[in-house]
């Protein structure tokens, strides 16, 4: 079963990252635009999930992404995702939005935990330059944080290392 790489985007960076991630994973990955989903229940269709989410709604407690993810986040906890692996990728700008870096990741992370999913792919914040992020949970980013605005040169290596991590952490994912 191919892993489903879901993205939402405003200026295209998250779609680009989702595509690069799929190229790294190979033929066992499908890329889907969350904006094309008719209903949140489509997230229950077969396949583990990698959810790619930018942060636009600076400082907000809810609807943090400012993209199509926001129209699904409240319904995700009602899904039945027990036994499914879910990983989150966040895009943000650690320089201009240092106090809110990749805040939207944690909103999705918490919603998918409530749906019973197994959340994988946490990353150490060491090596990032930011002040605060709601997506640091118990000392770890709750997914892969990427910064295509201020640190684009680091993205390829971060993606390669993370794919290796997922292969070890969730061997059945892809």
Residue 92 interacts with ligand FMN (CB under 6 A): yes or no: yes
**Region of 22-30, 43-51, 74-82, 100-108 interacting with ligand FMN (CB under 6 A):** 100-108
Interface residue with ligand FMN among 3, 5, 34, 93 (CB under 6 A) is: 93
Name the residue number minimizing CB distance to ligand FMN: 92
**Region of 8-16, 19-27, 70-78, 134-142 interacting with ligand FMN (CB under 6 A):** 8-16
Q: How far is the CB of 46 from ligand FMN (least distance, A)?
A: 26
Q: How far is the CB of 1 from ligand FMN (least distance, A)?
A: 26
Cβ proximity to ligand FMN: between 4 and 13 the closer is 13
C-alpha distance from residue 91 to each of 23, 42, 100, 160 (Å): 18, 23, 11, 16
- The sign of the dihedral angle between the CA atoms of 29, 34, 35, 40 is positive
β pairing state of 136-137 and 140-141: antiparallel
Residue 150 interacts with ligand FMN (CB under 6 A): yes or no: no
DSSP-assigned letter for residue 123: B
Of 73, 146, 155, nearest to 112 (Cα)? 73
C-alpha to C-alpha distance for 123 and 10, rounded to whole angstroms: 25
């Amino acid at each position: 079963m191919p892993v489903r790489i879901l993205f939402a985007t405003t200026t295209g960076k998250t779609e680009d990252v989702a595509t690069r991630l799929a190229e790294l994973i190979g033929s066992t990955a499908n890329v889907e635009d969350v904006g094309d989903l008719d209903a949140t229940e489509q997230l229950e269709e077969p396949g583990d999930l990698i959810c790619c989410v930018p942060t636009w709604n600076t400082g907000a407690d809810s609807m943090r992404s400012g993209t199509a993810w926001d129209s699904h986040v409240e319904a995700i906890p009602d899904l039945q995702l027990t036994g499914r692996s879910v990983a989150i990728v966040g895009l943000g700008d650690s320089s201009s939005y240092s106090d809110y870096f990749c805040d939207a990741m944690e909103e999705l992370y918490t919603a998918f935990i409530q749906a019973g999913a197994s959340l994988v792919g946490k990353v150490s914040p060491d090596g990032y330059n930011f002040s605060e992020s709601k997506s640091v949970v118990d000392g770890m980013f709750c997914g892969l944080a990427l910064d295509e605005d201020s640190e684009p040169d680091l993205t390829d290596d971060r993606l390669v290392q993370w794919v290796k991590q997922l292969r070890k952490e969730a061997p059945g994912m892809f």
